[in-house]
A and B are shown apart, each in its own frame.
Chain A
Amino acid sequence: MASAKLLDRVMEGIISKGVLTIVHADGRESSIGKPAPGFPEIRVRFADDKVARQLVLDPRLGAGEAFMDGRLLIEQGDIMGLAQLLRANKPYERGVSLHRKGVIRRLLDRAVAARDSVNQQASAKTNVSHHYDIGNALYELMLDAEHMQYSCAYWPQDGGGGDMTLGEAQTAKLAHIAAKLDLQPGQRVLDIGCGWGGMAIYLAQNFDVSVSGITLSKEQLELAKARATEAGVGEDVQFELIDYRDLPARGIHYDRIVSVGMFEHVGRPQFETFFRVAANLLTDDGVMLLHTIGRMGGPGSTDAFTRKYIFPGGYIPALSETLAASEKARLIATDTETLRLHYAKTLRQWYAACFTHQTEIEAMYDARFFRMWTFYLAGATAAFEYGGMCNYQIQFARNRHTLPLTRDYLAENEAQLLGR
């Protein structure tokens, strides 16, 4: 019972706006915080007295596992609301961490994260399978039907973006990235981490280019191929199951490299390898566009829940370490853009789509999986809205003469693609 009291105290330290009501295992109710506009009111019930202890030991992993197992029940509101309530009270900008860990705990976390993110080629494949070979069906239910993009969409309509559909926002994202690639007719493009082929297909449809997409997921590969054929660009687009590190041995060079949502899986120990390989794969006047989730602030480590259940081997990079690794490969960061809040909007759409298809998803897996998945989406949303997560788009050139001398071409290319 000591941990129940301790947990109350911890929560009181976090929540001042909005309300969290906890019904403890022994029936005792504690209500924390005060109603405030924009802050949710959430009521949770703990099924047994271990929940409080789990939460005190590791809030994110503990909450995740208790929620998954159905021992942390949400009686009012939902998991999205709970994540928001906790994060919004301690936004990243205020410089206060949700839970200050002891030195040993932090060292241990870092050691595990470091071990996990070494990503040798054999484990890279296992890690990717873990997340992506759980079946295309789930992603088909959750993502936009147009492009099946499993990365941050782009919501250019200022203020709300409410009048854009997820599909439109993903089209806008593809156009935004394509504009930065400054594609010329006849070019050869490599898409590292091609997912279900949405980017490759879009580029082939809109430009006179040939695209090679690579992935480590079998499930993705097959669907990507089918989608390209269906889109009528089967000739210009090729997909292959291969590790990017095996490509340089072939001696083929690419005019453009695009990598969207893949760098998160590379892992810090492999950053330099990634950029060295990319630089070697590019032609002398090649350009690469890297789109990745990023952490604000300095380097850190992946949290235990994400590491265990969602992205083993993954690591969200700080901008500084990404740039430092790229400088060693003599890649010039010609343009860097930080997308904020775009990913939160995207995640909220995915979250909503999951609930629309809750019955189907639970039938495919089980209720526990559904809770795990929605916990992950809710946690990620809160991290982009109030935590230290953002999205970096970095354009690299090998040669300073390659791109136009002003950024005007970006707006022009984008307007042309979107018919604005």
Chain B
Amino acid sequence: MWLLDKFLKQAIHTGQMIVTDHDGKSYTYGPGIEGMDKRGAVRVRLTNPKASSHIARYPQLGAGEAYMWGWLVVKEPHDIRDMILLVTMNAKRLGDDAIKAKGGLRKALDLLVAKADSINLKSKARKNAEHTYNLTRRLYELFLDEDRQYTMGYYRDLDVSLEQAQMDKKAHLAAKMYIKPGMKVLDIGCGWGGFALYLHEHYGCEVLGVALAEDQIAFCKERAEAAGVADKVKFELMDYRDVEGQFDRISSVGLLEHVGTPHYPQFFEHTYKLLKSDGVMFSHCCGRVGEPGRTDAWTRKYIFPGGYIPALSELVVQSEKAGWQVMDVEAMRFHYSHTLEEWYNRTVMHRDEIVELYDEQFFRMWQYYLVGAEQSFRHGTMVNWQIVYVKDREALPMTRDFMHEESARLRAEAKIPKWSLDPALKVAAE
């Protein structure tokens, strides 16, 4: 316990956390809960003699695994989210480096593994995408919004529903793409097809959505059929590197996180070939502020194998080499932490069903992933980059006013669906 004890003593300066080790000994950290948490100190129990050293030795991976394996239990009324947010809020006070201070060798090793991991060969890319998205569509239905947007919502106001935030997000993205009716659009990494269908609905454009997860594509096709637009909105299970033809617009939302740094040149070169000379490409992805870094061990191992969250300069440098002109970059802050908080709430709401679909351990892994991501957007260094690229400087109007105006127009036009699994709706129905 001494190593973990040392870390927590240094780390916790606000709030309070009480850790009870497997042998029954209790350790209290932090000054108290005044002004913080009416529910009292966060109480944590370690059930396995190896838990404390596992957490202390592998700060990023250890706590997650300990929680997943049931070695670390958070006592009610708190849960794992409260614990993580408490620790990371304190870590932020110490400065961004405090939480990842490691020896030179350890760092070098981590970096090496991260590099090797993010080489996405085509066959491996599919395996990685399947790892994440083929969990079954039911799981995603349980915690995502009605349109199954698996990227951040756009929270123009903190009180809005996730459904509204996702609708406003689609409006914001579409506005930046400067789409005209009848255009041909390619959506790389189309997910469950919501954005492709949205673009067709609002602009009547032809859209091709591609993704690497089989069940996503099957689901997308069903949706297009059901909406009667299957001739205009097509979905294919294919690597974007295999797409051919010419498009007026290209979008990729939440894709570059999976592409991996070694493949950025290929991404920018191939998309450059696919876009017409007066076209516009838009990409939205998670980003890190500060310098290039690496993916943490937990996310690499359990959540997004092969993924990497880029610094803005890393994207821009490769896009310049391929001939792209960056027209506009908006750093979206905190929208993702609000989104992840709602996903977490919806996940916890469906605990029993998720445990039944998988098992306890999976549920805890999922919980830990969501809260880990939330904390990195809330207290860490994660943001979202929304980038507009062109090949020709005359492809867009002189000013950005169109983005602002079109986003507002689309928002006003939208009908916000209700979440069909909303407990309030169920109660009303009964």
**Which positions in A face B, CB cutoff 8 Å?**
93, 95, 154-159, 161, 296-298, 318-321, 323-324, 327-328, 330, 332-338, 340-342, 390, 400, 405-408, 410-411
| Proximity string of chain B (326-351) to chain A, C-beta cutoff 8 Å, 1 when within and 0 when not | 11111101110000000000000000
Q: How many residues from B make CB contacts under 8 Å with A?
A: 37
Q: Chain B residues near A297 (CB, 8 Å)? A: 320-321, 323
Q: Which residues of B contact A154 (CB under 8 A)?
A: 399
Interface string of B383-394 (1 = CB under 8 A from A): 100000001111
The 8 closest A-B pairs by CB, nearest first: A320-B317, A336-B329, A324-B313, A340-B393, A323-B313, A320-B316, A332-B289, A400-B333
B313 engages A327 (CB within 8 Å): yes
B185 at the interface (CB under 8 A from A): no
User: In the bound complex, do residue A158 and residue B320 qualify as a contact, i.e. CB atoms below 8 Å apart?
Assistant: no
B326 lies within 8 A of A338 (CB): yes
Instruction: Pick from A93, A159, A342: contact of B392, CB below 8 A.
Output: A93
Contact A328 B291, beta carbon cutoff 8 Å: yes
**B335 contacts across to A, CB distance below 8 A:** 405
Interchain Cβ contacts under 8 Å between A and B, 21 examples? A93-B391, A93-B393, A95-B323, A156-B399, A158-B398, A159-B398, A298-B317, A298-B320, A320-B313, A321-B317, A323-B313, A324-B313, A327-B289, A327-B290, A335-B331, A338-B327, A340-B325, A340-B393, A340-B394, A400-B289, A408-B156
A319 to B324, CA, bound (A): 11
A335 B329 Cβ-Cβ under 8 A: yes
B-side contacts of A158, CB under 8 Å: 397-399
Which chain A positions have C-beta within 8 A of B290?
327, 330
CB contacts (< 8 Å) of A318 on chain B: these are 320
Question: B208 interface residue, CB < 8 Å from A?
Answer: no
Q: Please give 16 more A-B residue pairs, beta carbons under 8 A apart, in addition to A156-B399, A319-B320, A408-B156.
A: A321-B317, A324-B313, A327-B312, A327-B313, A328-B291, A332-B289, A332-B331, A337-B327, A337-B328, A337-B400, A340-B325, A340-B327, A340-B394, A342-B398, A390-B393, A400-B333
Q: B291 contacts which chain A residues (CB < 8 A)? A: 324, 327-328
CA distance A400 to B398 in the complex (A): 29
Beta-carbon contact of B392 and A320 below 8 Å: no
Chain B residues, CB < 8 A from A390: 325, 393
B: residues with CB less than 8 A from A are 154-156, 277, 289-292, 311-313, 316-317, 320-321, 323, 325-331, 333-335, 383, 391-394, 397-401, 404
Contact A338–B320 (Cβ < 8 Å):
no
Nearest Cβ on chain B to A329's Cβ, whole angstroms: 9
Q: By the criterion CB–CB under 8 Å, are B328 and A338 in contact?
A: yes
With CB as the reference atom, state the residue of chain B lying closest to A92.
B393
Q: Which of chain A's residues have a CB closer than 8 A to the CB of B277?
A: 93
Choose from B316, B329, B401 the contact partner of A156 (Cβ within 8 Å): B401
Q: Closest approach, in angstroms, between the C-beta of B381 and any C-beta of chain A? A: 9
Most chain A CB within 10 A, of B321, B333, B398, B404, is at B398
Bound CA span A206–B316, Å = 35
Residues on A with beta carbons closer than 8 Å to the beta carbon of B321: 297-298
Task: Tell me the bound Cα distance from A410 to B400 in angstroms.
Answer: 11
The answer to whether B331 and A334 touch across the interface, beta carbons within 8 angstroms, is yes
Note all chain A residues with C-beta closer than 8 A to B323.
95, 297
For the complex, what is the distance from the CA of A156 to the CA of B391, rounded to whole Å? 22
**A341–B398 touching, CB < 8 Å:** yes
Contact at A400–B383, with CB atoms within 8 Å? Answer: yes
Looking at the complex, which one of A324, A337, A405 makes contact with B155 (CB distance below 8 Å)?
Answer: A405
Q: What chain B residues lie within 8 Å of A336 (beta carbons)?
A: 326, 328-329
A328 nearest CB neighbor, chain B only: B291
| Interchain CB contact under 8 A, A411 and B313 | no
Would you give the shortest CB distance from B40 to chain A, in whole angstroms?
28
Residues of A within 8 A of B320 (CB): 296-298, 318-320
A120 to chain B, nearest CB (A): 26
Chain A contacts of B397 at CB under 8 A?
158
Nearest chain A residue, comparing its CB with the CB of B326: A319
CB distance from A278 to the nearest CB of B (A): 16
Instruction: Indicate which residue in A159, A321, A408, A411 contacts B401 across the interface (CB closer than 8 Å).
Output: A411
8 Å CB contact of B330 from A319, A330, A335: A335
Min CB gap A240→B, angstroms? 32
Query: Contact between B325 and A156 (Cβ–Cβ < 8 Å)?
Result: no
Contacts of A337 in B (CB 8 A): 327-328, 400
CA A408 – CA B175 in complex, angstroms?
14
CB B287 to nearest CB in A, in angstroms, measures 10
B-chain residues with CB within 8 Å of residue A341 when the two chains form the complex: 393-394, 398
Q: Which residue of the partner chain, among B311, B326, B328, B398, contacts A327 with CB atoms under 8 Å?
A: B311
What chain A residues lie within 8 Å of B392 (beta carbons)? 93
A405 lies within 8 A of B399 (CB): no
Inter-chain CA distance A93–B312, complex, in Å, is 23
In the bound complex, CA of A38 to CA of B46 (Å) = 77
**Chain A, Cβ-Cβ closest to B311:** A327
In the complex formed, the residue of A with least CB distance to B317 is: A320
The residue of chain B having its C-beta at the shortest distance from the C-beta of A176 within the complex is B399
Give the complex CA separation of A318 and B317 in angstroms. 9
CA distance A159 to B399 in the complex (A): 10
Complex Cα spacing A341 to B311, Å: 28
Closest CB of chain B to A390's CB: distance in Å?
Answer: 7
Contacts of B325 in A (CB 8 A): 296, 338, 340, 390
Give Cα distance in the complex from A340 to B321, angstroms: 19
A318 to B331, CA, bound (A): 19
Give chain A residues whose Cβ lies under 8 Å from the Cβ of B292. 327
Q: Which residues from B are CB-within-8-Å of A408? A: 156, 404
Task: From the candidates A161, A328, A332, A338, name the one contacting B383 in the complex (CB within 8 A).
Answer: A332
Bound-state Cα–Cα, A340 to B389, Å: 13
Query: Please, how many angstroms separate the alpha-carbon atoms of A321 and B311 in the complex?
Result: 12
Between A405, A408, A410, the greatest number of chain B beta carbons within 10 A of the residue's beta carbon is seen for: A405
B334 and A400: CB pair below 8 A?
yes
Q: Which chain A residues border B327 with CB–CB below 8 Å?
A: 337-338, 340
Our pick among A95, A342, A405, A411 for the contact of B404 (Cβ within 8 Å) is A411
Query: Using Cβ atoms and an 8 Å threshold, which residues of chain B touch A95?
Result: 323
- B residues within 8 A CB of A328? 291
B223 shortest CB reach to chain A, Å: 29
Chain B CB within 10 Å, residue with most, of A154, A161, A296:
A296
Across-interface contacts of B328 in A (CB, < 8 A): 336-338
